[in-house]
Amino acid sequence: MRKILLYIILFLSGIDGAWALPIEKERMSIYSPSLKQEVSYSIILPEGYEHSDTEYPVLYMFHGIGGDYTSWLEYGNVARVMDKMIKKGEIKPFIMVIPDGYLSYYSDTYDGSFLYETFFIKELVPYIDNNYRTRKNVSARSIIGFSMGGFGALSVSLRNRDLFGSVVALSPSIRTEKQYLIEEPQTGWDNQWGRIFGGVGKNGSQRLTSYYKQHSPYHLLSTLRNSDLKEFGIMLDIGDKEGTLCESNEELHRLLLERQIPHEWEVRSGGHDFTCWNAALPKAFRFINKYFNGNQPGNNERSLLNETPLIKMANATVYYPEQAQGSTRKYPIIYVQGEINEQQQKTLVDQFHQMVDDNKTWPAVLCFVKTNTDLSETIADIEKQLSGIRGSQRMRALISLGDNIKKSIEAIQRENLFTGIVCVNAIANENDAQNFKEAINSHKRYPRCWIEVLPESKGYNFNSSIHILLKESDLEHEFRSRKCKEANVFTYWEDWIIYLNNRIHV
C-alpha cells in the first residue's frame, strides 16, 4: 500500500513539473454595456501565478482583420515565447490579454453604433485590474498589435497615455493621406474605413474626416511633441516584403525622425504574416519589459542593449551577449571600426541578438572601436582587461568601415589577428590595395575577406583593385557591389555576421 501511495505522489509530482508553464485560458468573456454584448477574450497567466501574491504588468494583444481572441495563441504561441525568455532571464513575467477586436480598428465608430474603444478603456482594462493581480500604473500596461491591431495599438495607446506606457506595432495597417484618399474599390474602403471613421461613399479629400484624424496614428503623431512622449515607448516593426504598408510605415518612421520622437524601428525579412511577426516577438517582449520594469531609455547605459552588459572604454564600446550575465563562459569577439554612434550600435547589436535568437549565428562579443584607432594596441588592451573573451586569432574577426582600412592593413601586416575581415566601402589608394593583398597572402589560410562596396562609392576603384588582386593571387574571398536601402551602410550587416560566424566556426 505504501509503495502505491509513493508511486501516486511521484506521478503527481511529475505532472506538476510538466505543467510548470504559463496558464492559457481561452474563450473567457465579459459583458459589455457599451457594446451590448458578450465579448470574448483569452488570457495568459505566467508560471506561478496561482501560487503567489505577486502583481504583474499586463500586455494587451490586438489581432488583425480576420483574427480573433485566439489568433495570438494559435499562430504566435506567445505563452511559450514568454516562458522561454523568462527562464533565460531576458524578461520578467507579465500577464497577456487578447480581446476579440472584431473589424473595429479598436476604435469607436464615428456615429456611436459600435463603441469598441470605450469598451476597451472603460470596461475591459478595469475588469482585468479588478479580477487579476495586476500592477495598476501606467508603466505596467502596454499594447502590441499586428496589422489592424497595429493601427489599434498605436491609436488607443497614444490617445490614452494616462493608461499605457509603451506600444509595439507590427506591420500596422496605416495609410498615408494619398493612399487613404484614392484607395479602391469604394465598397471595400467603405467597409474597412468609412464605416468607422466617416465618409461612406466619398472619395478624395471628403474622406479625410476630422474623426479619422483624431484616430489615425499618423495624424496623432504629427500633432504630438517630443515632450508629450517623454516616457512613452514606441516600437515599429515591418517586413521588407510588405505591399502598400511599406510606403505608409516608412512615412511614419520618417515623420518620427523629423519630429525627433524616440522610437525603435526595424525592417526585417518577411511579409504580412506570422512568420514575420513571430520573428519580431522576442525583441518586442524585451522592449516592453524595459518599460514594465522601469528601464526606459536614458535611465542607464545598460538599457541601450535591452539589459545586456555594456562596457565603455577609452577607444571602444564593448557589448556582451545577452546570456553572459552570471555566466563564466568565454565568447568569440567581432571588432567593428568606424564612425558609429550609440543609436546605430544599439540597432546593430539588437539585430545581432535577434540573429542569435533565430539560430542564424552564435553568440559573440561585439566591440565598436573608434575610427583611426590603432587596432593592435586596442585589441591587446581590451582582451587584457576584460574577461569572457576567448582571445585567439581563430576567435577574432573584424568589420572595417571606410578609410579605417589603412589601420586594418597595418594591424594584419604586424600580426595574424583575425580569422575573417569584412571591408565596407574601403577608401585608400592603389598602393594600399597592393599592401592589403600582400598582407593577406603572407598569412595564407587566415584571414579570409569579404569586400563590400556601393556601386557609386568614391572608393570603388580601390575595392575593385583588391578584388582583382586577390583573384589573380587565387586568394579566397567574397566581393559584393550592391545598393544599400536608404543609404544605410549596414544594410547587409546580417550577411557580414553570418560570413564571420562561419569563419569563426569553420
**Same domain for 144 and 73?**
yes
- Is residue 443 predicted with pLDDT exceeding 80? no
The closest alpha carbon to 175, from 186, 189, 185, 161, belongs to 189
* Domain coverage including residue 126: 19-174+216-292
- Number of domains composing the chain: 2
Q: Hey, which of 131-135, 443-447, 450-454 has the most confident mean pLDDT? A: 131-135
Asked if residue 194 is part of any domain, the answer here is no
The angle formed by the CA atoms of residues 124, 170 and 137, to the nearest 5 degrees, is 40
Tell me, yes or no, whether 448 lies in a domain: yes
Mean pLDDT of all residues in 323-329: 68
Q: Domain for residue 206, yes or no?
A: no
Does residue 188 fall inside a structural domain? Answer: no
**What does the pLDDT read at residue 289?**
95
- Whether 20 shows a pLDDT value over 50: the answer reads yes
Strand order of the β-sheet with 477-481 is: 310-312, 316-319, 365-369, 333-337, 396-401, 420-424, 448-453, 477-481
Q: Which of 148-152, 176-180, 320-324, 355-359 has the lowest mean pLDDT?
A: 320-324
> Residue 301 above 50 pLDDT?
no
Q: Are 273 and 314 members of one domain?
A: no
CA distance 341 to 321: 19
Give the domain-ending residue among 292, 309, 340.
292
Least confident of 77-81, 113-117, 153-157: 77-81
How much is the pLDDT for 73?
87
Answer yes or no: is 332 within a domain: yes
More confident residue, 244 or 277: 277
Name the nearest CA neighbour of 420 among 375, 363, 478, 474: 478
Residue 267 CA to residue 286 CA, distance in Å, equals: 17
| CB contact burial 343-367 (16+ within 10 A = b; e otherwise) | ebbbbbbbbbbbbbbeeebebbbbb
Look at 20 and 106; give whichever has higher pLDDT.
Answer: 106
DSSP result, 411-477: HHHH----SEEEEES----HHHHHHHHHHHHHHTTS-EEEEEE-TT-TTHHHHHHHHHHHHHTT--E
Does residue 72 lie within any of the structural domains? yes
pLDDT confidence of residue 439: 81
Residue 300 pLDDT grade (very low, low, confident, very high; cuts 50, 70, 90): very low
* Higher-pLDDT residue of 154, 247: 154
pLDDT band for position 170 (50/70/90)? very high
Which of 157-161, 196-200, 327-331, 334-338 is least confident?
327-331
Give the pairing type, strands 23-32 and 37-45: antiparallel
Domain termination site, one of 275, 292, 309: 292
485 CB-near residues (< 8 Å, 6+ apart): 267, 491
Given the C-alpha cell 493621406, which residue does it identify?
A: 177
Amino acid at 85: M
Pair 285, 312 in one domain = no
Position 237 scores a pLDDT of: 93
In angstroms, the CA 252 to CA 274 distance is: 22
Checking if the pLDDT of 250 tops 60, the result is yes
> Does the pLDDT value for residue 1 go beyond 60?
no
Please determine, for residue 85, whether its predicted confidence score (pLDDT) is greater than 60.
yes
**Do 121 and 96 fall into the same domain?**
yes
Neighbours of 40 (CB within 10 A): 15
Q: What is the pLDDT of residue 8?
A: 39
Say if residue 384 is in the same domain as residue 277. no
Last residue of a domain, one of 292, 315, 343: 292
Distance separating alpha carbons of residues 284 and 387, to the nearest angstrom: 30
Residues 232 and 342 in one domain: no
In a domain, 4, yes or no: no
Q: How far apart are CA 328 and CA 331, in angstroms?
A: 10
DSSP 175-240: --HHHHHH-S-HHHHIIIIIHHHS-TT--GGGG--HHHHHH-HHHHHHH--GGGGTT-EEEEEEET
Residue 106 has pLDDT above 70, yes or no: yes
204 lies in some domain = no
Same domain for 54 and 126: yes
CA-CA distances (angstroms) from residue 430 to 426, 464, 482? 12, 10, 22
Residue 87: Cβ within 10 Å count: 11
Instruction: Please give the average per-residue pLDDT across 319-348, as a whole number.
Output: 85
* Per-residue model confidence (pLDDT) at position 327: 62
Is 296's pLDDT higher than 70? no
pLDDT of residue 433: 84
Residues 354 and 401 grouped into a single domain: yes
- Average pLDDT over every residue of 434-461: 82
Helix (H) or strand (E) holding 136: none
Q: What is the pLDDT of residue 307?
A: 42
Give the C-alpha separation, 310 to 321, whole Å: 10
Cα–Cα distance for residue pair 222/217, rounded to 1 Å: 8
Tens of pLDDT along 224-240? 888 889 889 999 999 88
Same domain, 236 and 325: no
**Percentage of the residues of the chain whose pLDDT score is greater than 90:** 47
In the beta sheet, which residues pair with residue 29?
A: 40
Q: 3-class SS at 165?
A: coil
Q: Which of 369, 347, 339, 329 is nearest to 263 (CA)?
A: 347
Q: What is the pLDDT of residue 41?
A: 96
Which of the four pLDDT bands, split at 50, 70 and 90, describes residue 295? low
Same domain, 277 and 345: no
**Domain holding 312: CATH number?**
3.40.50.1820
Q: What are the grid coordinates assigned to 434, written together?
A: 597592393
Residues 80 and 30 in one domain: yes
Quick one: 266 and 306 in the same domain?
no
The answer, yes or no, to whether residue 13 has pLDDT greater than 50, is no
**Cα within 13 Å of Cα(411), Cβ side:** 26
* 248 in Cβ contact with 176 (< 8 Å): yes
φ and ψ at residue 267, rounded to 5 degrees: -110, 120
Q: Summarize the confidence of residues 15-23 as an average pLDDT.
A: 58
Contacts of 280 (CB under 8 A, 6+ apart): 170, 237, 266, 268
Closest by CA to 65, choosing from 143, 144, 148, is 148
Q: Mean pLDDT over all residues of the chain? A: 86
